[in-house]
């Protein structure tokens, strides 16, 4: 059903990290960890990999949005946030708001906004180009420590809440980075769905979506979770390769850094498996250029070859001693 008033844009961010736990969580344990809202059900499944997602956590906002011309755009509403566990190993926290024009230029009581979770209403004048302006302004912001709309801060607080749960032993099998996927989406009626993804230095990635209808727009948050997961896996794999080279230079057993990744994370590579049908075609684009799976399989093969060589060298040393 098309919302009224019309959607200008949807803006969000996904944070992805390794769960601070030595053993992979079972489906039941993952669901228990995701029980963040009392009395609200947790979604979970066993296949293709263990997955559990928390109910929506709502946080109120009254802020301005970034725009290219720094024009003042004020909005009041809520951010919808969720946390999830993938494969019993990976934690994601995501937050987003759907931005719409307000029906009045006067701020309403909070009960009005709380009744529309994940919707932010723009109180200032709304030009026809607002969606494009919000998308450009939001994706141009690199630093989360700003006074403009920042769903990443909401996602970060939710991630911290999950990580501090006493059921986690805080002893992950390997050390990995946290990545941020900041994304924005808007509708151009009848156009084919497109996405432009940019990798920035450090932990930040941005993704700009243009979709053809509201069904595709509604699928963007789940697609971004899937995209962020597989980008994170590629990032971790690249860092492990770099770390393995440092281990070889220091003559430390290279299997100490390679084996945990091969054991705990490699089997989670399933791009598109969690993407809703309206946007699965975007994975065809990513597989063609830059070739997500080609990069993954080539680098996993590189690590397995390096581990095999290191194992053979160790066996030769043992044979020489005897």
- What pLDDT, in 10s, does the model give residues 159-190? 999 999 999 999 999 889 999 999 999 999 98
The verdict on residue 230 lying in a domain is no
Structure confidence at residue 141 (pLDDT): 76
Whether residues 305 and 269 share a domain: the answer is: yes
Residues 194 and 186: their CA atoms lie apart, in Å, by 11
pLDDT of residue 126: 77
Residue 4 lies in a domain: no
The SS3 of residue 44 is: strand
**What's the CA gap between 226 and 30, in Å, rounded?**
18
> Do 138 and 184 belong to one domain?
yes
Nearest to 33, CA basis, from 101, 75, 83, 95? 83
Please check whether residues 170 and 278 belong to one and the same domain.
no
- Tell me whether residue 223 is in a domain: no
Is there a domain that residue 1 lies in? no
Give the per-residue pLDDT at 3: 44
pLDDT at 71: 82
Residues in the chain with pLDDT values less than 50 = 1-3
Within a domain: residue 180?
Answer: yes
The answer on 249 and 167 residing in a single domain is no
Final residue in a domain of this structure, among 148, 179, 211: 211
Q: Give the pLDDT confidence score for residue 147 in this predicted structure.
A: 81
Structural domain count of the chain: 2
Please enumerate in sequence order all residues whose Cβ is within 8 A of that of 276, keeping only pairs 6 or more positions apart, or say none: 218, 219, 222, 223
Same domain, 202 and 98: yes
Residue 300 in domain: yes
For 109-132, what is each residue's pLDDT tens digit?
999 999 999 999 999 887 888 899
Report the predicted TM-score, pTM, of the whole model to 2 decimal places: 0.91
Same domain, 67 and 203: yes
Last residue of a domain, one of 195, 211, 227: 211
224 is a domain residue: no
Range of the domain at 74: 9-211
Q: What is the pLDDT of residue 2?
A: 41
Backbone dihedral angles phi then psi of residue 219, each to the nearest 5 degrees: -85, -10
Note the pLDDT of residue 1. 38
Asked whether residue 261 falls in the same domain as residue 188, the answer is no
- Helices 292-321 and 255-264 meet at what angle, rounded to 10? 130
- Give the whole-angstrom CA distance, residue 12 versus residue 154: 10
The whole-number pLDDT of residue 306 equals: 80
Residues 147 and 250 in one domain: no
**pLDDT of 248:** 58
Task: Choose the final residue of a domain: 196, 211, 226.
Answer: 211
Q: Is there a single domain that holds both residue 60 and residue 147?
A: yes
One domain for residues 198 and 288: no
* Same structural domain, 275 and 148: no
Assess whether 40 and 125 both reside in one domain: yes
């Amino acid at each position: 059903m098309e919302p009224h008033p019309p959607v200008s844009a949807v803006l969000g961010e996904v944070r992805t990290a390794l769960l601070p736990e030595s053993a992979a969580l079972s489906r039941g344990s993952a669901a228990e960890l995701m029980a963040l809202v009392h009395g609200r059900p947790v979604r979970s499944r066993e296949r293709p990999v263990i997955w559990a997602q928390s109910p929506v956590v709502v946080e109120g906002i009254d802020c301005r949005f970034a725009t290219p011309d720094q024009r003042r755009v004020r909005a009041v509403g809520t951010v919808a946030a969720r946390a999830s566990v993938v494969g019993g190993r990976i934690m994601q926290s995501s937050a987003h708001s759907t931005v719409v024009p307000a029906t009045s230029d006067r701020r309403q009581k909070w009960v009005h906004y709380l009744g529309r979770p994940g919707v932010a209403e723009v109180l200032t004048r709304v030009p026809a180009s607002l969606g494009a302006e919000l998308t450009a302004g939001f994706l141009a912001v690199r630093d989360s420590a700003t006074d403009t709309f920042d769903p990443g801060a909401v996602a970060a607080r939710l991630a911290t809440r999950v990580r501090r749960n006493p059921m986690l032993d805080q002893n992950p099998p390997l050390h990995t980075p946290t990545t941020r996927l900041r994304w924005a989406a808007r509708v151009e009626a009848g156009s084919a769905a497109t996405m432009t993804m940019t990798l920035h230095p450090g932990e930040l990635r941005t993704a700009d979506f243009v979709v053809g209808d509201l069904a595709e727009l509604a699928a963007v948050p789940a697609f971004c979770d899937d995209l962020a997961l597989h980008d994170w896996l590629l990032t971790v794999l690249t860092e492990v390769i770099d770390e393995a080279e440092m281990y070889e230079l220091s003559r430390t057993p290279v299997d100490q850094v390679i084996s945990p990744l091969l054991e705990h994370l490699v089997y989670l590579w399933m791009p598109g498996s969690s993407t809703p049908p309206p946007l699965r075609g975007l994975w065809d684009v990513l597989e063609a250029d830059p070739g997500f799976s080609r990069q993954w399989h080539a680098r996993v093969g590189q690590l397995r070859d390096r581990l095999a060589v290191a194992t053979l060298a160790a066996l030769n040393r043992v044979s020489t001693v005897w």
